[in-house]
Structure 1
Amino acid sequence: MVWSVKIKFLVLTDQTILNMSLPEIKAYKLLFALVLIITSFNGYAQKLPVKQEGSLRAPASVKIDGKTSEWNFKAYNIATDVFYTIAHDAENIYLVIKAADESSMRKIISNGITFKVSSSAKKNDTTAATITFPLFNYKNKPAITFTIKSKPVDSIDYFIAANNKQLTANGKFLRTRGFTNVDTLLSVYNTAGITIASAFDKDGNYNYELAISRKLISPFVNANNGIFYTVIVNGIKLDDMPGVTVTRSDNGTITAIDVRKSDFRPGLSEGISVPTDFSGEYVFTK
C-alpha cells in the first residue's frame, strides 16, 4: 500500500478558529480525520507480516456477508497490496481480504480475486482448483466510485451504499475450476459448498469473504493435513483502465479504443494491469 500525503501544518489559535468560516472548519476536520486514518493504516500494515504465520480458528460468530468486523487480519501482503487472513473451523476454510488502496480495488472489481488450492507446492500444478470472484464483464460492469475517501464527509455514506448496491445487483456469479462435480459457473447462492460475498465498508475499503466446505477441498489435503494456496489479484481489464474507453460490438468484438490522457487517474500503481499473487501452506489444526 502506498499513501502519499502532503500537508501544510498551521498553528491554529483560538482567534484563528474564530475567524474561519464553517466550510473551512469542516475542511480542516475532514483533513485531520483523513490523516488519522492514513497514519493508522500505515502503522497497522507495517506491524503485520507479509504472509500469515500459522493456522487460525475462525470466529464462532463468522458470517459471510462482506463485512469483516469479526476478523483480525493476520498479514499485509505487499505484492498484492491487501490485508488477508486464512482460517478454518470444522466445516470450512475461510479467506478474508481487505483492499484499501485504489489500484488494488480497481484490479479486484475489474478482474476478480482467484483463490487456488492444491496438494502440491508447484505453482503450475494442473490438478489445482480455483475460485474467481467477483465476476463482471463489459455487459454487467458495475459503476463503482473508487475515490470515496476524497468525497465530502457528509456524502461518503451515499457513495458506499451506491457501490454496494452495484456489487449486489451485478456480482451474482463466481467461476470455478478443478472441483469434482462442481459447475464452472456458479451463482453466489449455490449449494456446492462455496459461500462468498463482498462489500465496501464505512471507510471506503473493499472487503471480500470466502468460505469453502472442507469436504470440497478434501482431495487437496496433503500429508501434513494442509493445503497449498495461492491468492491472485488479477490485472485490470482494458475496458476498466482509467482514461481508456473501449467500444464493442454486440458479440464483444472491440471496434474502437479511445485513449484520453486527461482522464488518467494519477497515483495509480504502474503495475495495475499485471496480476500479482502470494502463496503459502495452510495446515488444519484440531
Structure 2
Amino acid sequence: MKISNCKLFGLVLPALLLSAFANAQKLPNIQKGGLRAPANIKVDGKASEWNNELQAYNHAIQASYTLSNDDNKLYLTVSSDHKEVINKMINGGVSLIINKVKRSVSGAASVTYPVFNIQDAPVISLNTMFDIKTGTPDTDAKMDSLVKASNSALNNKAKFIRLSGLQGDEDTLISVYNKDGIKGHSAFNNKKTYTLEMSINLKLLGLSIQDQSSFNYNIRFNETKIDFVPGISIMRNADGTVTQMVVKDAKLANSYISALNTTDCWGEYTLVK
C-alpha cells in the first residue's frame, strides 16, 4: 500500500543552525560496535534510559543516535535540536534500513516512522518553539505548554509505520498498534530536542542473537517534498532530489536544498548477547 507525501508544516529555516549538542564534538561520527539495550528501555520518545547521552553524533544527518539490542529486538534512538532537521524528521519520516549483505538500499529491509496521510499531517509550531528563550517562569510555562501541545499533536496523528522488504511486501503501511513487534514513538522535551525511537523484532529482520555476523545499517532522514512555496522556485532531478532553488536571497539556496534533500549515514552493527 503506497501513500502520498505529506504536506509541509512549519517553515523551513532560511539557514542551517550552526549549533549542535554540547557533547557533539566528543562523540564519534558513527557508533562504534554493538550495544546491549538497558533492561528499562521504552519506545516513548525519551532518551532518559541513556541519560540523554547517545553513542554518536553524525554530521551528515545532524543528529545524535544510539543503536542497541536485547535478545529479541533492535532499537534505534535518534535526537536532534536543529529546527530544519526536526522538520524533515517529522515530515519525511526517519527510516532504519538493514542490509545483511552490502551497503545498499536495494534489497534491504526498511522501517519508516512517522508516516502521515496527506490530509492528516499534524501542525507543529517549530518557529514559535525555537523563538522562545527559556529561563523565566513565564517563558518556561510557555515552552511547557507548547511542548505538550506538540507532543499531543504527534501522538494523535502518528498512527502509521511504513515497511519495505519485510514480510515479502515492497511497500506496506501498518498501524503503530500492530502485533508484529514493531514500535515507533517520538516527542519533544523542554530543551527543544526532538527524540524519535523505534524497535523492530529481530526475526522480522532475519537476525538472531545467536548470529554474531555484522550487518549494515542506514539511518535516513527522508526528503521533504514541497509542491509550492510562495516566492521560491524549485527544480528537481528525475529522482526527486532538489537541484536548484530560486529565492529572493540566492545565498540561502544551499541551506534550503540541504534542509529538503534526503540525508543519511551508514554503519555496521553486531548484535550483543
Task: Give the aligned partner of residue 10 of structure 2.
Answer: none
Verify the 8 A CA contact 1:131 1:174 in the aligned structure 2.
yes
Offset at residue 177 of structure 1 (A) = 1.0
Q: What value does the CA root-mean-square deviation take over the aligned residues?
A: 3.0
User: Who wins on radius of gyration, i.e. which is larger?
Assistant: 1
Unaligned runs of 5+ in 2: 1-14, 134-138, 233-245
**Counterpart in the other structure of 1:88:** 69
Query: Which of 95, 99, 105 is matched with 1:118 structurally?
Result: 99
Is 2:187 aligned against 1:199?
yes
Specify the alignment match of 1:236 in structure 2.
224
Higher helix share: 1
Amino acid of the residue matched to residue 196 of structure 1? Answer: G
Q: What is the one-letter code of the residue matched to 2:54?
A: F
Q: Which residue of 2 aligns with 1:134?
A: 114
The 3-state SS of whatever aligns with 1:284 is coil
Query: For 1:150-209, what per-residue CA distance to the aligned partner results, in whole angstroms no more than 9, with x for missing partners?
Result: 225231111111111110111100110111267811111100110111111121211111
2:26 counterpart of 1:47: yes
Q: Could you say if the C-alpha distance between residues 156 and 261 of structure 1 is closer, same or farther in structure 2, counting changes exceeding 3 Å?
A: farther
Letter in 1 for 2:125: T
CA-CA distance at 1:109 after TM superposition: 1.2
Distance 2:49 2:228 in 1: 32
Q: TM-score, normalised by structure 2?
A: 0.77
Out of 124, 127, 139, the position equivalent to 1:144 is 124
> Offset at 1:270?
3.8
Q: Distance in 1 between matches of 2:208 and 2:157?
A: 31
Match of residue 74 from structure 1 = 55
Structure 2 counterpart of 1:128, which letter?
Answer: A
Q: CA deviation at 1:122?
A: 3.4
Amino acid aligned to 2:263: T
Bigger relative contact order (CA 8 A; separation at least 6)? 2
Matches within 5 A, 1:1-286: 3-4=17-18, 41-71=20-50, 72-124=53-105, 126-147=106-127, 148-151=129-132, 153=139, 154-180=141-167, 184-218=172-206, 224-238=212-226, 269-286=256-273
- Per the TM alignment, residue 142 of structure 1 is displaced from its structure 2 partner at its CA by 0.8
Number of residues of Structure 1 aligned to a counterpart in Structure 2: 235
Q: Return closer, same or farther for 1:61/1:68 CA change in 2, 3 Å cut-off.
A: same
SS at match of 1:94: strand
| Contact kept? 2:182, 2:200, Cα under 8 Å | yes
Aligned equivalents of 1:178 and 1:82: distance in 2?
A: 26
Residue 235 of structure 1, CA deviation: 1.2
Structure 1 counterpart of 2:148, one-letter code: A
Structure 1-normalised TM-score? Answer: 0.73
Query: Identity rate of aligned residues, in percent?
Result: 33
Higher alpha-carbon deviation: 180-189 or 200-209: 180-189
Quote the Cα distance in structure 1 between the aligned partners of 2:177 and 2:163.
Answer: 14
Q: Distance in 2 between matches of 1:159 and 1:238?
A: 25
2:237 alignment counterpart: none
Alpha-carbon distance, 1:243 to partner: 6.7
Shift of 1:98: 0.2
C-alpha distance in 1, partners of 2:226/2:142? 30
